[in-house]
Chain A
């Protein structure tokens, strides 16, 4: 099912004002309802390799697997295909990045964060690893959907420090999960309903470290009519505030509902999947 009539997606990635490389990667496919953002880490250009491999592999493989069986259908084990496909493909991508890091000395230790969303049947499935985020603007309400896998977030959760203190912490850059650094990785996966008018923002920490949430929310609200400009403005704000890291954003606007057609697509796809 082609979702490009229902979803508007824009992507923008920028090296920032300080770094010499852009280690972020983005991928979007409005027809398939896919948005993927990765923020790589590792010496020399290894970070770029890790994030690039991740968005490219996940993007192409998920488009293939969702063409075969729609995300809302149940797979052969009776699980939601969106979930099983994400788990499988993220595990495969993790192995690929890990293998590359193991076999090539210049890539040793590389890894990447990941935040991605699959839109289908008036809802979305979000998967994330590390400190790249997904936010939602619904009406006037701006909310962070994902919770960082970072030392800082763990400290906040355990009541060790408050969110206010966290802003002054020196430990902003420590993630507790990353893709490609271990043989296996556990993504956090969640399902959310979407409504027409919602705007989703996927971003790397280069945005949310440099720009306050309120400013991000204001920008999304004011410039929602022009997503391209909105993405540009967000990147510009991060750079105006110092641009100390690479900045990447993906904006997704739900233009109208996109219920899955179950009557034929559903059982036909299941039959196809069963025949395979």
Chain B
């Protein structure tokens, strides 16, 4: 379960477990968490938790609520955020297990159906759920992924097309976008896709297919190598990798 750690002058005063949907914080005694200090408004802020997401909302306090130094009205809390009200600080800490679980599996969680009145149950359940649990109406977590997500590949070196013949000879075009189309619409068009592991050229339209290094391509994508020469709609161009 996530929590807020209330401190002043780096002295920890209280740990606030986020076990309710709404937790109010303010100077007056009816708040869930009372901070008896004149810099804190009677009803200063509310912390709203829906399943794994926590938001903080300032209740028009006199002296305001600050997150990481910025005055806010409403804020979606991220792990490690520091909320300031007067001299007090609230640090938002996600459960380490939850964080790692989220990193590892949240995105793998399968779609679940939420029915009215289920939110609270799901929160309670979230604390005790075990992998692979299944219940009617609530699909628990997906089994662990078969493979860890691939580490982000090293940045792909920038590929560039230089036109070798025709009216635009000499012109260069950096392949920055995910897709770059080339050719004449309605006559012959090819697309170069920038993918994590390289650049791929594919025929899009027209009766003729692109030619790479003298060989005509088929409908399949073809990975480009440094200094490949492409022929498209009668124009020659060279693909190269910028150092």
Q: A residues bordering B, Cβ < 8 Å?
A: 17-20, 23, 39, 41-43, 47, 108-109, 111, 113, 130-131, 151, 155, 160-161, 165, 168-178, 181, 205, 209, 215, 218-219, 222-223, 225-226, 229, 233, 236-237, 240, 242, 244-245
Contact = CB atoms under 8 A, between A and B. Distances in A.
B114 A161 contact: no
A171 B179 CA distance: 31
Contacts of A168: 76, 78
Contacts of A205: 111
A225 B114 contact: no
Contacts of B113: 41, 111, 174-178, 181
A20 B113 CA distance: 21
B135 interface: yes
Interface in B149-173: 149-150
B204 interface: yes
A128 to B, nearest CB: 14
B204 A47 contact: no
Contacts of B115: 176
Contact of B53 (A169, A175, A236): A169
8 contacts: A160-B55, A170-B51, A170-B52, A178-B113, A205-B111, A215-B178, A233-B179, A245-B110
A175 B50 CA distance: 14
Interface stretch (B11-19, B23-31, B191-199): B191-199
Contacts, number: 125
- Across the A-B interface, give the 5 residue pairs with the lowest CB-CB distance, nearest first: A170-B52, A225-B205, A109-B136, A174-B114, A43-B134
A171 B196 contact: no
Given A181-B137, A233-B193, A222 B110 contact: no
A177 to B, nearest CB: 8
Interface residues of B, number: 47
B67 to A, nearest CB: 13
Interface stretch (B38-46, B139-147, B233-241): B139-147
B205 to A, nearest CB: 4
Nearest to B113: A178
B146 A229 contact: no
Contacts of B146: 18-20
B111 A131 contact: yes
Given A18-B147, A109-B135, A165-B76, A41 B185 contact: no
A177 B113 CA distance: 7
Contacts of B196: 240
B178 A218 contact: yes
Residue from the set B50, B102, B137, B203 with the largest chain A CB neighbour count within 10 Å: B50
Given A168-B76, A218-B178, A226-B205, A113 B185 contact: no
A174 B138 CA distance: 10
B181 interface: yes
Given A20-B146, A43-B134, A175 B112 contact: yes
Nearest to A226: B204
Contacts of A47: 110
Nearest to B116: A176
